[in-house]
Structure 1
Amino acid sequence: MRSALVLSGAPGVGKTTVGWRIWDRCIDLGQAPAFADLDLLGAVWPAPVDDPYNARLKATNLAAVWANYQRAGSQRLIVAGVVESVDERRLLEEATGGPVLICRLDAPDAELAVRIERRGREEGDDLTRLVARAAELSAQLAGDGVSDFSVGTGGRSTDEVAGEVFARWA
């Protein structure tokens, strides 16, 4: 059993929502989970030119947060965030001190667009760019071979998806 699960995927696919449901399952089973969101761990502007998505900063912050979580008694780590390359995977493995299990969540592009619009964080051109980026990233992640397995979220409940992912992690 790997102690760290990473939920990757395009914007709107459900990484954070599924992550919290898995966190609940871990609590119910007495597994002492912790949760980290890479977007929040890398929320700084401007990003360095040589690290446009703040992958190094996210990993550095994750290492510190995971160490603190472990000192507090956490045994399993759930991470939500996009992992686009083998190098980013390596950074996360260094940050967590061992192998990570990466689950790529997938959904049809049309469903991603509806979810992104529904959450209401972006408007106008920002919304248009994010919907386009979600479709582009979804295709990229499906072909990059970075994840260990994928789970479809389209037309499924959060409980169904979390159950399938958790079963593969457990």
Structure 2
Amino acid sequence: MAVDPVPFLLISGPPGVGKTTVGWEIFDQVVDEGHRAALVDPDLIGVCWPAQRTTPTNERLKARNLEAMWRNYRDAGARCLIAAGEIENRDRFAAYVDAIPGAVPTLCRLTARHDELRRRIVTRGRERGEEIEKLYERAVYLSRALAENDVTNFWVETDDRGIADVAKLVRARAGGWPATLL
């Protein structure tokens, strides 16, 4: 049975860079243009404790949940998918792509200066005290690791740009996503 192609935009980057916010903006833009889209945050669909010993960040669970959610989204009419989360390596990227039959993946990495990441982490108000420092340290580590082991199609700097501008730039660098893939 033939499977229709699924434009699948994955937005990656360190904590505080704006992945979820940009994902929502892209979702709003494509829906406003008349596309039937879905949005998912892999980190949120993997929140389960205890974590599996072999995958402490619950990557297998996230991929299975993504697969199940896509089936439901597709049945509800979605024809393209946006995922905003930390995609640290080729294995994680492949697991997410494999979860979506017919996926035509585009992986974008968002970047920001370290001082800007700290500012965003503090101002979003979710973390407190030591949690802020731990998350900031993870953001710096992940910024460097993603740059060194880049598996993305392209990256977009978010410093000094508004959310709508970042979203438009991501879509433009992805070839007008999703219109050119539908």
Structure 2 length normalisation: TM-score?
0.90
The amino acid across from 1:30 in the alignment is: G
The answer as to whether partners of 2:6 and 2:81 remain within 8 angstroms in 1 is: no
Indicate conservation of the 8 Å contact 1:105/1:151, yes or no: yes
Amino acid corresponding to residue 113 of structure 1 in structure 2: R
1:107 and 1:153 in contact (8 A); partners too: yes
1:123 aligns with 2:128: yes
Q: How does 1:7-156 map to 2 (within 5 A)?
A: 7-97=11-101, 98-156=103-161
User: 3-state DSSP class of the match of 2:99?
Assistant: helix
Q: What letter matches 1:67 in structure 2?
A: R
Structure-2 separation of matches of 1:14 and 1:95: 24
Moved over 6 A (4+): none
2-side partners of 1:150 and 1:2: how far apart?
A: 21
AA of the residue aligned to 1:36: V
Percent identity at matched positions? Answer: 45
RMSD: 1.2
Q: In the alignment, is residue 162 of structure 1 matched against residue 182 of structure 2?
A: no
Q: Is the 8 A contact 2:6 2:79 kept in 1?
A: no
SS in 2 for 1:96: coil
Q: Which runs of 5+ in 1 are unaligned?
A: none
For 2:180, the equivalent position in structure 1 comes to: none
User: How many residue pairs are counted as aligned between the two chains?
Assistant: 170
Tell me, in whole angstroms, the C-alpha distance in 1 between the residues paired with 2:162 and 2:142: 23
Deviation readout 1:65-114 (Å, 9 max, x if unpaired)? 01100001101100011111111011011111234211000000110001
Residue 127 (structure 1) shift: 1.2
Residues in 2 aligned to 1:95 and 1:12: alpha-carbon distance in whole angstroms:
26
TM-score (norm 1): 0.96
Q: Is the 8 A contact 1:36 1:80 kept in 2?
A: yes
Higher helix share: 1
Instruction: Give the deviation of 1:125 after TM superposition.
Output: 1.4
